Amino acid sequence: MAYPYVSDHEVQIVSKHFGDPQQRRVDTYVERGGYQALKKAFDMGPEQVIDMVKSSGLRGRGGAGFPTGVKWSFMPKESGKPHYLLCNADESEPGTFKDRELIRWDPHQLIEGCLIGAYAIGAQHVYIYCRGEFFEVNQILARAVEDAYAKGYIGKDIMGSGNDLELTVHQGAGAYICGEETGLMNSLEGRRGQPRVKPPFPAAVGAFGMPSTINNVETLCAVTHIVDNGGEWYRQYGTEKSPGTKLFCVSGHVNKPGNYELPLGFPLSQMIEEVCGGMRDGNALKAVIPGGSSVPIINAEEVARCNLDYEGCVEVGTMLGCASVIVMDETTDIVKAVRRMVDFYAHESCGQCTPCREGSAWTAKILRRIEDGRGTEEDLDTLMQMTQQMVGTTICVLSDSVAAPVQSSIEKFRDEYLALIRRGERVGAA
Amino acid sequence: MSDIPFKNPGWAGNTGEFDLTEEQVRGDDFVGDRPKHGGHASGAGTLPYMLADKHPEAALFEGEYQERFEKILTRYPTKQAALLPALGLAQEIRGHVSPESMDRVAELLDLSPAYVRGVTTFYTMYNKRPVGDHLVQVCTNISCNLAGADEVVDAFLRYTDTELGETSEDGKFTVIEAECLAACGFPTCVQINSRYFENVTPDQVPQICEHLKSQGGE
């Protein structure tokens, strides 16, 4: 398919049917081998499903990269309580646009993954928490779930296996913080989406006070293929510590922005040049944010030696996050870009913890002052000092996410800040 | 962005053909419109529409909407969990969530009105006051910003002759900035009511607005 752009470097597993509207139909999905993995899972038993996902080395695709099989094994076995599987489709990290595409092109792939996950952890009910702004996605997903119910893939005695599973699509209402797992649980329960203190961890006390597991959309989609083809099959892609493929959401100043499914460990510079068609207008690369706005910015020199896997990104002092690669060329005003990201966090801070609520707002104000040419050199020290106090002092990591772009940009692009401060005028913005 | 080698990638039609109807954009592959009573209970909590036609005085949770509300209640172990879907439903019916709607929801779910107000104001998607027929939300976050989203906002404000967050005099448009709409690969992304318009450039703004006006209050 000519889905926006495709590249020869891609290994299309979860994104195979992007651009093909027929895939949304349950009949087409089944004709193409759909719901066979679920049948296999029922034949294998929950323990073996967890072992298989463990052996595949699949790591959570939502940002933290925690091994999925291990996460599942934390669920209590015989608790006598209801268990829940929550699917996090509250995609709102700036730069990320994979979950929307995964659900709207291939909703049954996700539903199958959810059912396999629920079976493995002994959950009776799956909630897909889908972002509120996604009206279209919610409609497609809700209709796909209805179709799956009608065909007997969800509900009582699925495919004659004696297993009962329920699935509900829950539409969010516009809050970035609901993408945090405990914030999502609070929101699902009809509260403000403020994160909870951990421990207790969700596997012990989660949604509605019951043992719960949260997985990202892409993780659950990958599970479908792992159960279908085996853990070893998945390990043929990617690296030893980061096996498999990952959807990279590339945006910004490249010729062909879009979603590309590449094996983990792919070199970042090769991705920009060969997969994404190079830089816009042949401009020089200035900076890249490899994992969504919450991770440190890297400069051109670091881009050249960065491999796109969980370890490779840590080596150059950043994180893979949810692999949302934002590319900026030489015309970019870094101070403005950072200020815009901090504005976002100031807007989305839930207001529970003081360092985050006050810190994000003041960081945004100081950055705005510098951008307007009214800053002082002391402001940079204040920013560094203040963001330092925002790391690790709050319930969730939203506060840390403010610090990452601010600190990394001041370290790597100090000249730009200084130029604005000294001359009172912008650099970079032509 | 004109050389994207595909048509009809989804909701918006990235080809600049903004006068397509929603049905045309979805293609005949789309599996049909969801009924007001919500269809199967599993998806009853999702909002099928954000309509241009808004009825601030409409009856809340009656008839088909009552049916849908009751379906939503069956999907959660607690009554409170139906709060977000219920508020969404109220907004779908009236176009915004007024204090009166909040009180009604509180009554139905055995919650205090103050609590419901606290939750409603936490979330950005609930319009706390009436909005225009077309709620224009321009993403100005990082990826769209790199592509010039600020100029798109200005173009909308110029065309509709209004200020950010305000409704135009004819009541047609409310323009606001939105945080990342998760369409970063297709900047600038603009959400108008429930539909995404992608790859929007400032010079396309008048065309989009004219088209929306010609559709009127549906």
Cβ atoms of residues A293 and A94 within 8 Å: yes
Long-range contacts from A382-387, C-beta under 8 angstroms, 24+ separation: A383/A410, A384/A410, A386/A359, A386/A362, A387/A359, A387/A363
CATH code for the domain in which residue B159 is found: 3.40.30.10
Q: What is the pLDDT of residue B54?
A: 83
Confidence of residue B24 (pLDDT cuts 50, 70, 90): low
Bridge partners (DSSP) listed for residue A261: A247
Q: How far apart are CA A176 and CA A348, in angstroms?
A: 6
Q: Are residues B138 and B116 in the same domain?
A: no
CATH number, domain with residue B83: 1.10.10
State how many domains chain B has.
Answer: 2
**Which residue type does A82 have?**
P
Chain A residues touching residue B194 (CB < 8 angstroms): 135-136
Asked whether the predicted pLDDT for residue B84 surpasses 70, the reply is yes
Token pair of A162, please? 């004696």
Contact B87 A188 (CB under 8 A): no
CB contact under 8 A, B122 and A2: no
Residue in A closest to B147 by C-alpha: A252
Domain boundary among B120, B143, B163: B120
- Residues B99, B157 within the same domain: no
Among A22, A91, A166, select the one facing B29 at the smallest CB separation: A22
Residues B148 and B192 in one domain: yes
User: Is residue B45 in a domain?
Assistant: yes
Give the pLDDT score at B176. 96
- Chain B residues touching A346 at Cβ < 8 A: none
Residues of B within 8 A of A251 (CB-CB) are 143, 146, 184-185, 187
The predicted structure's pLDDT at residue B216 = 58
Runs of H (alpha helix) within A76-211 = 98-105, 107-121, 135-150, 181-188
Q: How much is the pLDDT for B32?
A: 54
The shortest C-alpha distance from A265 to chain B (Å) reads: 22
- pLDDT reported for residue A386: 96
Count of beta carbons in the 10 Å neighbourhood of residue A33: 9
Does a structural domain hold residue B29? no
B92 and B138 fall within a common domain: no
List the A285-289 sheet strands across, edge first: A258-263, A245-252, A324-329, A285-289, A298-299
Distance in angstroms (rounded) separating the CA atoms of residues A410 and A400: 15
Residue B163 and residue B206 in one domain: yes
Whether the per-residue pLDDT at B11 is higher than 70: the answer is no
Domain-ending residue, one of B120, B152, B177: B120
Cβ distance B142 to A166 less than 8 Å, yes or no, reads no
Residue B21 counted as domain residue: no
To the nearest 10 degrees (0 to 180), the angle between helices A107-121 and A36-44 is 10
**Cβ contacts (< 8 Å) between B77 and chain A: which residues?**
82, 208
Contact B143 A100 (CB under 8 A): no
Q: Do A170 and B178 touch (CB under 8 A)?
A: no
Q: Are residues B207 and B147 in the same domain?
A: yes
Residue A328 is predicted with a pLDDT of 96
pLDDT at position A206, please? Answer: 95
pLDDT tops 80 at residue B34: no
Whether residues B113 and B158 fall in one domain: no
Q: Are residues B104 and B171 in the same domain?
A: no
Strand partners, A238: A243
CB-based contact B123:A175 (threshold 8 Å): yes
Option in B10, B43, B185 nearest A251 (CB): B185
Whether B196 maps to a domain, the answer reads: yes
**Strand, coil or helix: what is B137?**
strand
Q: Do B6 and A172 touch (CB under 8 A)?
A: no
| The domain boundary residue, chosen from B88, B120, B152 | B120
- B-chain CB neighbours of A22 within 8 Å are 29
The reply to whether B11 falls in a domain is no
Residue B25 in this model has a pLDDT that exceeds 70: no
| CA-based nearest distance B30→chain A, Å | 8
CB-CB neighbors (< 8 A) of A7 in chain B: none
Q: Do the domain assignments include residue B163? A: yes
Together in a domain, B89 and B138:
no
Same domain, B114 and B176: no
Contact indicator for A251, A289 with CB cutoff of 8 Å: no
For residues B121-130, give the mean pLDDT.
94
Say if B14 falls within a structural domain: no
pLDDT for residue B52? 75
3-state secondary structure of B197: strand
User: What distance lies between CA A320 and its chain's CA centroid?
Assistant: 10
Question: Does residue B197 sit within a domain?
Answer: yes
Are B48 and B109 in the same domain? yes
Contact at CB, B183 and A139, closer than 8 angstroms: no
- What are the φ and ψ backbone dihedral angles of A179, each rounded to 5 degrees? -80, -15
At B196, is the pLDDT very low, low, confident or very high (cuts 50, 70, 90)? confident
> Within a 10 A sphere around the Cβ of B22, how many other Cβ atoms?
17
Q: What is the pTM of this model?
A: 0.94
The 10 Å Cβ neighbour count of residue B56 is 12
Over chain A (430 residues), what is each successive 10-residue block's mean pLDDT?
76 90 89 96 97 97 93 92 96 93 93 97 96 88 93 96 96 94 96 95 95 97 97 96 95 91 96 94 95 94 95 95 94 95 96 96 96 92 96 95 96 94 61
How many interchain CB pairs under 8 A, A with B?
Answer: 219
Q: Are residues B103 and B47 in the same domain?
A: yes
8 Å CB contact between A131 and A89: yes
Query: A91 contacts in B (CB within 8 Å)?
Result: 182
DSSP element (H, E) containing A348: helix A334-348
Residue type, A244: G
> Per-residue DSSP letters for A37-78?
HHHHHHHH-HHHHHHHHHHHT-B-TTTT--BHHHHHHTS-SS
* Whole-angstrom distance, CA of residue B52 vs CA of residue A15: 34
How many Å apart are CA A81 and CA A58, to the nearest integer? 28
What is the domain range of residue B163? 134-214
